[in-house]
Amino acid sequence: MNILIKNGHVVDPANKVDEKLDILISGNRIAGIGKPGSIGSEGAQVMDASGKVVVPGLIDMHVHLREPGYEYKENIATGTAAAKAGGFTSLCCMPNTNPVNDTGSVTEFILSQAAKSGSARVYPVGAVTKGSKGEELAEMGELHGSGCVAVSDDGRPVMNGAIMRRAMEYSKIFGIPVLSHCEDANLSAKGVMNEGALSTELGLRGIPSAAEDSMTARDIFLAELTGCRLHLCHVSTKGAVALIREAKARGLAVTAETCPHYFTLTDEAVRGYNTMAKMNPPLRTAEDVQAIKEGLRDGTIDVIATDHAPHGMDEKTVEFEYAPFGIVGLETALGLSLRLVQEGVLSLTDLVRKMSLNPAVILKINRGTLSSGAEADITIIDPDLEWTVDAAVFKSRSRNTPFDGWKLKGRAVQTIMGGRV
Amino acid sequence: MSLSSKDLLGIKGMSPEEIRLVLDTAASFKDVSERDIKKVPALRGKTVINLFYEPSTRTRTSFELAGKRLSADVLNISTTTSSVVKGETLLDTARNIEAMKCDVLILRHPCSGAPAFLASRLKSSVINAGDGFHEHPTQALLDLFTIREKLGTIEGRTVAIVGDIAHSRVARSNIYGLTALGARVRVCGPATMIPYGIEQSGVEVFYDADRAVDGVDVIMTLRLQLERQAAGLFPGVREYARLYGLNRDRLSRAGKNAMVMHPGPMNRGVEISSDVADSSSVILDQVTNGVAVRMAIMFLLSGGAKAEAS
Amino acid sequence: MTMNEKALILDKSGIDRALTRISHEILEKNRGAKSIALVGIQKGGVHLAGRLAAKIREIEGVDIPVGSLDITMYRDDLGTRKSQPVPKATDISFDVQDRVIVLVDDVLFTGRTIRAALNSIMDYGRPMRIQLAVLVDRGHRELPIRADFVGKNLPTSSKEKVKVLLAEDGEEEKVVILAE
Ligand SMILES: [Zn+2]
Ligand SMILES: [Zn+2]
């Protein structure tokens, strides 16, 4: 079946497109793209995209889908449904499931579940070390062979520098990036929020910025030593942004992501012991938020990902120290990121680059463009639609968000994956 | 005038007027404790529950006595005797307690914010009896009461708080209370135990105890948790005692008739020498005043504010 | 709702005459000042107790102990009030055991304050006898309580208020009825 998306404002950074165009989808592919009215629409379902922005399907390269093992928080069906609702057509799922995705069989299980019930494409990330214990390398060859597009021990850092070095070296065999959760666990210790005047006031153990900065520095030096493609997850500090900027200036193959909460909220959101504002890395200061925005603006930070981390309401309705880290993000990420465009931090093109093209390039997956002949993964965004976040209607199985009740402007109104609406 | 909240979660956020109201009310209740019949019917028919997730005989006893002297029915639930050990959540435990028609819930908990967590979910008045490193408001109120009783005024006094400020809820509550009432506060301890940004609460930071106590009116020494050594916060007890322990010699640098306070229980010979503890301190007055202050708090919370909240 | 002064009941000299008479009655009833102590109920009764003591000194030439009693902690309406009353000073610096305690209050109304005062004073010991002196008895009793010494009996409507203003509080001295 054919679909003609008419009169949309098409933003496709890969092809330097930023204008009003029509797109014809034939089957699962993009069959043509051209000036409004230039493509015949006989027999095609016409989708009027006037006033809308048409972009390559969004890609979230940092999601915790929780299946296998923690299906009460999320499963592949609900997680990908949330992705679709949020405008994402592809996502990477982190390996900290139970069992950890450190063998081909787990990867294959995830892929088969995704094929059965997925509303978005799922690209598994394999573990760096067996059981993500940080001791012995996982069999990356098998993981890669089974479909993993990257490796990571996300959820925790690879504390041993020698192991990280070997992991970076070994990953080069397969040309896959190492996604690093940068945290010196000795420095963060039992910390539960950003270390600062507020943690002192609230009497909560702090996680200093230095816990992230020092590990970011280590990994950058290891990337230099090994020539590995290093991708830094969820950058939250001013210090890390500066380190990455400097690494890029030296020509290292380092890329980085941040998450909407790190450029939207500060540690003040924790006040009142709000467990919905508890995540790792923690929400930082206004100065860090500023630095993150600057890093996004000047290209130091390549990617906006969600670190979607679903948790049950019972798990979050406890003492702050006992609550798990993490928030859901798939259904709020686009609305929050569009604020950057509204504030003038990013152009629409740059936003699409960071939410679609760049992740595709880093992961070497053939997505993130609207080229003729490409898979028809397309997100249609209404940039003017004002809406209120209502966690109760999330497609995700979990509702742990600090943004419930927020008024946002702009959201995905149509998510097309492989030509399917 | 009455307290603006149904709960007492911390000193931070209390106005100087509210703090003075508590101290003035406590003065009346102290008189009650000095009579032969140490009981008034003010909270007759009310139920007060002490829910303690940390062992603390001293604070629990003080609250228990305060409740009983107000004629309330007082029940103690501690981690070792309740379903808490079976893994029930704090909220479930508290809801069960509330179902027993508890009017005042007194909570001691190792997690900062646990009382605030319950207060926003329960109709009962919640009194923070110490939460994590956050606050221990009744301790600060009894300290303020004791200072005012001994020195007449708090405004313009200089108070040195010496010890592990980072992990002390007593220090935080006292800093807020003392500065609210116009005292100058110095905090002193090893740099490893001075928390980030504490100077933003209006205190002066010292690492040198001799300089910190120089000329002060009041010295509060904090209990040193010996397990902090394993966490690398201080190299050893001997050095700590030498650098930060309060002994005769160090005390002589303070103002004439300086008061020595300690929230208890003491490590004699570590943060305070025995001769200072026994001869120069008001530690036992603090204990006595603790009952009066807690009576005042329970009395003030069990009246007006609660009616407004419901 | 504002209350206006409806009638002047006693002026300065009227109050003074009433107190003088009460002083004589107290001495007469107790056959002198021996073992008497006066206890003023906060807040209106405290100044009156002081004045009665001064008059008794004039008449008998002896100083009798005077105390003050705050009944806040003994009220029966603590749980239902909108805002908690702040306790004022209680000062009973003498032994109440085996004494004649004369409770002093400005206005006797429902009797609930006196009930609380009786409970309170007995927590200080066991007096031989307790008597009650009031400047004004305005009726409307809710408890079986009566005064031994009354300055003025005053029939009132329960909607009215009786106010005793004294020089000690910086007021022009008088007793008035207030009504809407
Ligand atoms: Zn992570
Ligand atoms: Zn993550």
**Residue-wise pLDDT tens digits, A398-408:** 999 999 999 99
Query: Rounded to the nearest 5 degrees, what angle is found at the Cα of B106, between the Cα atoms of B100 and B111?
Result: 115
Give the residue-averaged pLDDT of A139-143. 97
Between β-strands A2-12 and A17-26, what pairing exists: parallel, antiparallel or unpaired? antiparallel
Nearest Cα residue to A390 out of A403, A381, A377: A403
Percent of chain A with pLDDT over 70: 100
| Intra-chain end-to-end CA distance of chain C, in Å | 7
Check if B303 contacts C (Cβ < 8 Å): yes
Give the residue-averaged pLDDT of A168-193. 97
Nearest Cα residue to A168 out of A99, A108, A218, A240: A218
Check if B205 contacts C (Cβ < 8 Å): no
Give the residue-averaged pLDDT of B209-230. 93
> Given a cut of 90, is residue A41 above it in pLDDT?
no
Give the pLDDT band (50/70/90) at residue B265: confident
CA B166 to centroid of ligand 1, rounded, Å: 28
Give the pLDDT band (50/70/90) at residue C79: low
CA A234 to centroid of ligand 1, rounded, Å: 7
Give the pLDDT score at B84: 54
pTM passes above 0.80: yes
Give the pLDDT score at A195: 98
Number of domains composing chain C: 1
Q: Where are the alpha helices (DSSP H) in B266-303?
A: 274-279, 283-301
Number of domains composing chain A: 1
Check if B4 contacts C (Cβ < 8 Å): no
Mutation choice for C interface testing from B69, B101, B299 by most C CBs within 10 A: B299
Least confident of A79-83, A248-252, C119-123: C119-123
Determine the Cα–Cα distance for residues A335 and A339; give it in Å rounded to an integer: 7
Check if C93 contacts B (Cβ < 8 Å): no
Check if C112 contacts B (Cβ < 8 Å): no
Determine the Cα–Cα distance for residues A229 and A238; give it in Å rounded to an integer: 22
Which residues from chain C sit within 8 angstroms of residue B292, using beta carbons? none
In the structure, do chain C and chain B come into contact, i.e. share 3 or more CB pairs under 8 Å? yes
**A239 belongs to a structural domain:** yes
**A232 belongs to a structural domain:** yes
Give the pLDDT score at B81: 53
> Given a cut of 50, is residue A339 above it in pLDDT?
yes
Check if C170 contacts B (Cβ < 8 Å): no
Residues of chain A whose beta carbon is less than 8 angstroms from a beta carbon of chain B are 195-206, 272-273, 314, 317-322
Give the pLDDT score at A357: 98
Q: Are A206 and A190 in contact (CB under 8 A)?
A: no
Three-state secondary structure call for residue C129 = strand
Give the residue-averaged pLDDT of A153-166. 97
Determine the Cα–Cα distance for residues B163 and B219; give it in Å rounded to an integer: 11
With CA atoms as reference, the chain A residue closest to B135 would be: A203
Give the pLDDT score at B36: 84
Determine the Cα–Cα distance for residues A208 and A398; give it in Å rounded to an integer: 29
Give the pLDDT score at B306: 41
CA A283 to centroid of ligand 1, rounded, Å: 13
Chains that touch A (3 or more CB pairs under 8 A): B
CA B287 to chain centre: 11
Give the residue-averaged pLDDT of B197-217. 97
* pLDDT tens for each residue of A54-66: 999 999 999 999 9
With CA atoms as reference, the chain A residue closest to B93 would be: A318
Give the pLDDT band (50/70/90) at residue B290: very high
Nearest Cα residue to A243 out of A209, A271, A266: A209
DSSP conformational letter for A318:
S
Length of chain C (residues): 180
Give the pLDDT score at B86: 61
Give the pLDDT band (50/70/90) at residue B296: very high
Give the pLDDT score at B85: 56
Distance set, CA A275 to CA A282, A317, A329 (Å) = 11, 7, 15
Give the pLDDT band (50/70/90) at residue B264: confident
Chains that touch B (3 or more CB pairs under 8 A): A, C
Is C73's CB within 8 Å of B28's CB?
yes
Is B46's CB within 8 Å of C79's CB?
yes
Q: CATH number for the domain including C34? A: 3.40.50.2020
Give the residue-averaged pLDDT of A366-376. 95
> Given a cut of 90, is residue A43 above it in pLDDT?
no
Catalytic residue numbers of A read 307
With CA atoms as reference, the chain A residue closest to B94 would be: A318
Among partner residues B89, B91, B111, which is closest to A321 by beta-carbon distance? Answer: B111
> Given a cut of 90, is residue A306 above it in pLDDT?
yes
CA A20 to centroid of ligand 1, rounded, Å: 38
Nearest Cα residue to A132 out of A114, A106, A113: A106
**C48 belongs to a structural domain:** yes
CB pairs under 8 A between A and B: 65
Give the residue-averaged pLDDT of A226-255. 97
> Given a cut of 50, is residue B310 above it in pLDDT?
no
> Given a cut of 70, is residue C113 above it in pLDDT?
yes
> Given a cut of 50, is residue C165 above it in pLDDT?
yes
- Residues pairing with C69 in the sheet: C41
Which residues from chain B sit within 8 angstroms of residue C81, using beta carbons? 303-304, 307
Give the residue-averaged pLDDT of A243-266. 98
* pLDDT tens for each residue of B163-197: 999 999 999 999 999 999 999 999 999 999 999 99
Which residues from chain B sit within 8 angstroms of residue A195, using beta carbons? 196
Which residues from chain B sit within 8 angstroms of residue C90, using beta carbons? 28, 31
Give the pLDDT score at B309: 36
Please return the burial class of A82, using the count of CB atoms within 10 Å of its CB with bins 0-12, 13-18 and 19+: buried
Q: State the average pLDDT for chain B.
A: 92
Q: Which residues, 6+ apart, have CB-to-CB distance to A116 below 8 Å?
A: none
Torsion of CA A292, A297, A300, A303, to 10 degrees: 80
> Within the 36-65 window of chain B, which residues sit less than 8 Å (CB to CB) from chain C?
36-37, 39-43, 45-46
Determine the Cα–Cα distance for residues C35 and C99; give it in Å rounded to an integer: 5
The domain in which residue A323 lies consists of 57-363
CA B201 to centroid of ligand 1, rounded, Å: 33
CA A124 to centroid of ligand 2, rounded, Å: 13
Determine the Cα–Cα distance for residues B223 and A125; give it in Å rounded to an integer: 49
**A151 belongs to a structural domain:** yes
Give the pLDDT band (50/70/90) at residue C4: confident
Give the residue-averaged pLDDT of A202-226. 98
Give the pLDDT band (50/70/90) at residue A3: very high
Cis preceding-peptide flag for A281 (omega within 30 of 0): yes
* pLDDT tens for each residue of A321-336: 999 999 999 999 999 9
Give the pLDDT score at B304: 46
**A293 belongs to a structural domain:** yes
Check if C77 contacts B (Cβ < 8 Å): no
The domain in which residue C40 lies consists of 5-74+91-178
Please return the burial class of B1, using the count of CB atoms within 10 Å of its CB with bins 0-12, 13-18 and 19+: middle
> Given a cut of 80, is residue A37 above it in pLDDT?
yes
> Given a cut of 80, is residue B79 above it in pLDDT?
no
Check if C120 contacts B (Cβ < 8 Å): yes
Among partner residues B111, B169, B198, which is closest to A319 by beta-carbon distance? Answer: B111
- Residues pairing with A91 in the sheet: A60, A122
Q: Are A154 and A112 in contact (CB under 8 A)?
A: no
Q: CATH number for the domain including A102? A: 3.20.20.140
